[in-house]
Amino acid sequence: MPDEVKPLLGQELNWHPQLCIEADSESRTVAVATRHHRKSFYFDQVLGPDAEQEAVFSSSVVDLVDGFIQGLNATVLAYGQTGSGKTYTMGTAETLQQDRGMLPRVMERVFDALAQLKAAQEAEGQAGSAKYEVSCQFLEVYNDEVRDLLQPDTPRQQLSIREHGDGQIRVSGAAEIIVGSLEEMQEVFHLGSQARTVGMTLMNERSSRSHAIFTILLRRTSRAEGGGLQLVTSKFHLVDLAGSERTKKLGARGLRFKESVNINQGLLALGNVISALGDPARNLSHVPYRDSKITRLLQDSLGGNSQTCMIACISMDHSCLEETLNTLKYADRARNIKNTPVIVQKVTQPSEVMLLQAQLLRLLKQHAQQGQHDPEGAAEARMAGLDLLAQLAPDAVWDLLRMVYGRPLAAARPEHVSVAR
Ligand SMILES: Nc1ncnc2c1ncn2[C@@H]1O[C@H](COP(=O)(O)OP(=O)(O)OP(=O)(O)O)[C@@H](O)[C@H]1O
């Protein structure tokens, strides 16, 4: 907060917009002055109203992409009141080239980096020594229910949030689409965006009525010493949260009112999780992740193994002062969370691959046999099989699928190859 800003005086007390909120990117502070007091908040980056998307990307997101390529998990979350620019910042499928948001930029950077790695391997005469597989998922949480935007007709009972032994959260039953190029991933994003729930409110013509999570998954396989396969997996969540809103101001009735209540409850639950994680005095075993679907989905991003960046979007409009203050407080609490991400790698020895394959085959057979008369048992066997599948490196998975189906799965690519885990 620059010292030269004078307090509000005389007519200025009528909350002239420019005097209410000041963003200073040099000192990285945002100051809010109300009739009674002023408060400054310090952040890692502060970008003013004139900042371009490129500045947001290069200051806050690009390092996360580079870490992701090396094997670290990453999450970028956009938070703020309705109409403050979250969807604009994260990016939509329609945005013009220079205005494109974080999502299209992350995708581009990922494929550029992979092309460079491939070229470097070739230059060193080690073409194919490490293989990369990229896939993506696109989910939304609408009225506290998970929806798969890539298979919008999937009944919600078939989508369940599960915590795996490694602490990773996955949604079983959700489509995971393997993509071979930037264009394919853009197509998937476009497809999912069309299914996203949006509606018109007084504050925003195309208001997101759900929390949307686009996830990029990367699996790198290389040969380990002793002939085994080394697998490094990482995921990148790009989260466009629904906007915090005051139902009265929004003119919400009927369905919009119900949506609004659910949105606010989800954000409240997220705020409670953020408070619990950021408070060193709290017992971390009691973080209330289970209070809403959005907190459950983001459990490993917020308090787990992830480099996480929250982009708090605010409006300079004085009529939004209360919401702006709330957003700043929310983001301020989020700054207290300290994550220490590490690369997760797994080496599967050849003998282990064979063992896992045998176990998996048994479960697949059980699934097929139980299918008719015991759907629940079949579903359990299927889930157990898919858990095992997740432990295998892609090469081993292809081998296995060849064994089971008698043909390489690659023949079916790049069309929708869905692996529900
Ligand atoms: N930095 C910006 N530059 C130009 N236009 C912007 C900017 N930020 C937002 N907008 C425009 O403002 C409007 C509202 O933005 P947006 O839909 O991104 O808000 P939101 O926070 O996602 O709202 P909601 O929570 O209701 O979904 C859109 O028309 C968007 O194009």
User: Would you state the pLDDT for residue 301?
Assistant: 85
Name the closest-CA residue to atom 14, ligand 1.
Answer: 83
Secondary structure string (H, E, C) spanning 366-397: HHHHHCCCCHHHHHHHHHHHHHHHHHCCHHHH
User: Would you state the pLDDT for residue 99?
Assistant: 86
What does the pLDDT look like over 313-366, one tens digit per residue? 998 877 788 888 889 999 998 988 888 888 888 777 767 766 776 777 777 676
Atom of ligand 1 nearest to the CA of 51: 1
User: Would you state the pLDDT for residue 399?
Assistant: 56
Report how far ligand 1's centroid is from the alpha carbon of 337 (Å): 27
80 marked as binding residue: yes
Give yes or no: residues 327 and 364 share one domain: no
Give yes or no: residues 232 and 287 share one domain: yes
What does the pLDDT look like over 232-271, one tens digit per residue? 889 999 999 988 766 555 555 666 778 788 888 888 899 8
What does the pLDDT look like over 174-199, one tens digit per residue? 888 989 899 999 999 999 988 887 66
**What is the pLDDT averaged over residues 10-39?**
72
Give yes or no: residues 65 and 101 share one domain: yes
The rounded mean pLDDT for the chain is 79
Q: Confirm if 406 and 378 have CB atoms less than 8 A apart.
A: no
Atom of ligand 1 nearest to the CA of 198: 27
Could you tell me which residue, 386 or 292, shows the higher pLDDT?
A: 292
| Helix (H), strand (E) at residue 215 | strand 211-223
Report how far ligand 1's centroid is from the alpha carbon of 316 (Å): 13
Give yes or no: residues 327 and 363 share one domain: no
What does the pLDDT look like over 103-134, one tens digit per residue? 999 999 999 999 999 999 888 887 767 889 89
345 in any annotated domain: no
Q: Report the CATH number that the domain containing residue 118 is assigned in CATH.
A: 3.40.850.10
Q: Confirm if 189 and 197 have CB atoms less than 8 A apart.
A: no
81 marked as binding residue: yes
Give yes or no: residues 394 and 270 share one domain: no
User: Would you state the pLDDT for residue 320?
Assistant: 80
87 marked as binding residue: yes
419 in any annotated domain: no
Query: Is residue 210 predicted with pLDDT exceeding 60?
Result: yes
Query: Is residue 59 predicted with pLDDT exceeding 50?
Result: yes
172 marked as binding residue: no
User: Would you state the pLDDT for residue 300?
Assistant: 86
1 in any annotated domain: no
Give yes or no: residues 311 and 238 share one domain: yes
Give yes or no: residues 327 and 392 share one domain: no
237 in any annotated domain: yes
User: Would you state the pLDDT for residue 368?
Assistant: 66
User: Would you state the pLDDT for residue 15?
Assistant: 47
Q: How many domains does the chain have?
A: 3
Give yes or no: residues 217 and 306 share one domain: yes
Report how far ligand 1's centroid is from the alpha carbon of 234 (Å): 30
Atom of ligand 1 nearest to the CA of 82: 25
ipTM of the complex, rounded to two decimals: 0.97
Give yes or no: residues 283 and 358 share one domain: no
Report how far ligand 1's centroid is from the alpha carbon of 205 (Å): 10
User: Would you state the pLDDT for residue 387?
Assistant: 66
User: Would you state the pLDDT for residue 12?
Assistant: 40
60 in any annotated domain: yes
Q: Confirm if 23 and 47 have CB atoms less than 8 A apart.
A: yes
137 marked as binding residue: no
pTM exceeding the 0.90 threshold for the entire prediction? no
Atom of ligand 1 nearest to the CA of 205: 29
Report how far ligand 1's centroid is from the alpha carbon of 88 (Å): 5
Give yes or no: residues 110 and 228 share one domain: yes
φ/ψ of 284, rounded to 5, equals -65, -15
| Domain that includes residue 378, residue range | 350-412
421 in any annotated domain: no
